[in-house]
Amino acid sequence: MRKAGAEPYPFDPATTLVRMKDVETIVGLARPTIYKLMKQPESGFPLPVKLSDSTARGAPVAWVLGEIQEWVRARIAARGRAAA
């Protein structure tokens, strides 16, 4: 039995999936820019996880929260290393 006020499930960014709206909010970019980054391997932007076996356009996908957070941390770290 869980204690009152305890989290219902343990929170693990490595196994937590977030949908596009959350990704947009976390990275501060619009959907088209996110998809553009995914097509550019040098960007390092994480690829989504398919949530169904559907191959149709618009099939549900999500991103691993920990990977999105890692990408943001890398962007923060890179800000001081701009080419002079």
What is the pLDDT at residue 84? 46
What stretches of 1-84 adopt beta strand conformation (E)?
17-18, 49-50, 61-64
pLDDT at 75 over 90: yes
Per residue in 29-73, pLDDT tens?
999 999 999 999 999 999 999 999 998 888 999 999 999 999 999
Q: End-to-end alpha-carbon separation of the chain, Å?
A: 59
Count CB-CB contacts under 10 A for residue 81. Answer: 7
Inter-helix orientation angle 65-78/20-27, to 10°: 20
What is the pLDDT at residue 9? 75
What is the 8-class DSSP label of residue 23?
H
Domain ranges of the chain: 17-78
What is the pLDDT at residue 74? 95
What is the pLDDT at residue 33? 98
Q: For residue 6, what pLDDT band results from cuts at 50, 70 and 90?
A: low
